[in-house]
């Protein structure tokens, strides 16, 4: 009777070892898939990451520079940034 119990315990132990090995393979495979997916997402994001720089040049009637802000509004007031006149000392 003890011999039969030992055989059954050995069979269960070997089945448990195989199951544990399969689970480790599955875990490693899932980690690799997640890492690959994250790399693909980062690559796709970098591929479409575009920086656009726009430059506006405009003049005002009084010789000062007109300022165009990001909303497209134009300010025709005096500006220290764009003056065509030289200051007399």
Question: Could you state, in order of their start, the residue ranges of all structural domains in the chain?
Answer: 1-50, 52-83
pLDDT band, residue 56 (cuts 50/70/90)? low
- Taking the C-alpha atoms of residue 65 and residue 55, their distance in angstroms, rounded to an integer, is 14
Distances, alpha carbon 28 to alpha carbons 3, 16, 34, 38, 81, in Å: 38, 18, 10, 15, 60
DSSP 80: S
* Beta strand spans in the chain (E): 67-68, 74-75
Instruction: Say what the pLDDT of residue 11 is.
Output: 92
pLDDT band, residue 55 (cuts 50/70/90)? low
- Taking the C-alpha atoms of residue 45 and residue 87, their distance in angstroms, rounded to an integer, is 50
Residue owning tokens 């693909």 = 40
């Amino acid at each position: 009777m003890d011999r039969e119990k030992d055989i059954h315990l050995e069979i269960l132990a070997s089945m448990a070892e195989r199951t544990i090995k399969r689970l480790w393979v599955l875990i490693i495979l899932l980690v690799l898939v997640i890492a690959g997916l994250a790399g693909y997402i980062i690559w796709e994001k970098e591929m479409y990451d575009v920086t656009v720089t726009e430059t506006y040049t405009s003049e005002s009637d009084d010789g000062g520079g007109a300022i165009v802000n990001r909303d497209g509004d134009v300010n025709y007031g005096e500006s220290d940034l764009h003056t065509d006149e030289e200051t007399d000392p």
